[in-house]
Amino acid sequence: MPSIKQRDDGVWRARYRDATGREHARHFKLKRDAQRWLEEVSASVVTGQYVDPRAGRVTFREYAEGWRASQVHRKQTADSYESRLRRHVYPVIGSMPLASIRPSTIQGLVKRMSTEGDGRAALAPSTVELTYKVVSTIFKAAVRDKRLSESPCIDVRLPKAGKTRATPLTLEQVATLRDTVPDELRALIVLVAGTGLRPGEALGVTRDRVRLLGRNPAVTVDRQLVTRAKGTAEFGPLKTEASDRVVPLPRVVVAALNEHIAAHEIADDGLLFTYRGQPITRPRFWHLFAEAREAAGLTEATGTGLHALRHYYASLLIRFGESVKTVQARLGHASATETLDTYSHLWPDSDDRTRDAVDSVLLADSADSLRTTRHKASGNT
C-alpha cells in the first residue's frame, strides 16, 4: 500500500511498491506534493501507463542497439540506420540514460546536425529529417516497452528543405558524358538515358535480364546492385514494390548494348557493366564518373550522377506527351504523387493549354472573318 510519513527533519517521505514488490520512494517538503505524486503513480497503474522509474536508466545507445537487432529490415535499410546512429546520434546522446533525454535535448541534436562545427559539415535537411525519424521511432519503441512514459520527440522543429526542380540535361551534355566516361561505361550512359533506371538498378543489370531480339526489346528490373559499408557489392531488393518493372528498350539502347556485349566477354548471368572485371560500387562509379561529370557541366540542379540521366529520360517522355501514369510506371515510382512532385514543372501547365484552346478557335474565327470582310470589300468596288 502507498504511504506518506513525515521524517524528524520535517521532510515528507512518500513510498509505494510496484507489481514486483520493489519499493519506490521520493521525498517532498510539502505533504500535498507527496500526495499528488502518489496519486499520479496510482492513476498510471490503473490506466496501464505505469513505468518503473529504473527502466529509463538504460542508455540510448544500449537500447537502440537492442532495438536494431530485433528489427526485420532489408540489409540496405539496416546499414543506413546503423550508419546514421553511429555517425550523427550516438556522439551526442548515445551515453545518456533514456529518462534523462528531454525534447530540448532532441532539438539540440537536430540543431547540431543542421549546422557546421567542430570540423563537421552541416547535413542536408533531408538527411536530418531521415535521421530524426529513426530516433523518433526508437523512442516510440521505448514507450511501448515501458521504458518511458512518453517520447521526447515532441514539437521538434526540423530544417526546411527548399524545393529543387530537376533541370533536364541537354542532348549535348548526354553526348559529352557518353564520350568522356571509360569505354566500359559508354553503353551504361546510353542505357540510363534511354530507360531512366536508377543507378543501382542499372549497375545491377545482368545479361539474362536484357531481351535484345524480337519486336519488343526490354530490360527486366527486379533487383539492384547494393554497395555495403565495407565497399563490397551484392544484389539486393529494389527500392519499392513499384520498382519491379519491365522497361522497353529503344533502338539506340539496343544498338549500344549489342556493341557493348560484342566487345566484352559477359556470361549469360554476368553483370553487363564492370570495371576491370569487378562490380562497380557507388564509390568506384563516382570516381570513374568524375571527369565526365565536370566535362558535361553537371550541377546540383541537373543532378551530379546517373540520376541526371534519369531526369533526362523523364523529360523526353513528358516532351512527347506521355501521361503521368506512364512516366510513373517507367521510372518505378511508388505513386503518381512522387512523379508529379519531381517533374510537374515539365508538363505544360493549364495556362498554356487554356491559351492554346482559345487561340485555336478564336484565331481561326478571326482569320475567317477577315477573309469574309476582304471578299465583301472587293465585291463592292
What CATH number has the domain bearing residue 128? Answer: 1.10.150.130
Cα atoms found within 13 Å of the Cα of residue 299, Cβ hemisphere only: 9
Question: Is 62 found in the same domain as 14?
Answer: no
User: 168-184, pLDDT tens digit by residue?
Assistant: 999 999 999 999 999 99
Do 337 and 374 belong together in one domain?
A: no
- Show the domain range for 41: 3-50
User: Does 150 map to a domain?
Assistant: no
Q: Per-residue pLDDT tens for 37-64? A: 777 776 665 555 656 667 678 999 999 9
Residue partners of 302: CB distance under 8 A and separation at least 6:
166, 167, 168, 169, 173, 308, 311
Cα distances from 61 to residues 1, 124, 151, 156, 335, in angstroms, run: 36, 24, 16, 21, 36
Domain match, 252 and 265 both: yes
| Same-domain status, 30 and 128 | no
Band of pLDDT at residue 367, cut at 50, 70 and 90: low
Query: Rounded to whole angstroms, how far apart are CA atoms 266 and 260?
Result: 10
**DSSP, res 306:** T
Return the C-alpha cell found at 127. 538527411
Q: How far apart are the first and last CA of the chain?
A: 117
**In the 8-state DSSP scheme, what is residue 302?**
T
380 burial level (CB within 10 Å; 0-12, 13-18, 19+) = exposed
DSSP line for 60-102? HHHHHHHHHHH----HHHHHHHHHHIIIIIHHHHTTSBGGG--
DSSP 155: S
126 with 12, same domain: the answer is no
Select, from the ranges 24-28, 39-43, 196-200, the one with the highest average predicted confidence (pLDDT): 196-200
Query: Residue 67 — pLDDT band, cuts 50, 70, 90?
Result: very high
> Does some domain include residue 368?
yes
119, 181: one domain: no
Q: How many domains does the chain contain in total?
A: 4
8 A C-beta contact, residue 174 and residue 191: no
User: Do 7 and 120 sit in the same domain of this protein?
Assistant: no
Closest by CA to 196, choosing from 16, 12, 328, 43, is 328
Domain end point (choices 144, 160, 180): 144
Let me know whether 220 and 333 are in one domain: yes
Q: What is the Cα–Cα distance from 308 to 305, expressed in whole angstroms?
A: 6
Do 304 and 183 have their domain in common?
yes
Range ranked top by mean pLDDT from 35-49, 151-165, 223-237, 282-296: 282-296
The band of 216, judged by pLDDT with boundaries at 50, 70 and 90, is very high
Residue among 172, 127, 162 at smallest CA distance from 298? 172
Please tell me whether residues 325 and 204 are part of one structural domain.
yes
Q: Are 339 and 355 members of one domain?
A: no
In this structure, the answer to whether residues 204 and 257 fall within a common structural domain is: yes
Amino acid code (one letter) for 350 = S
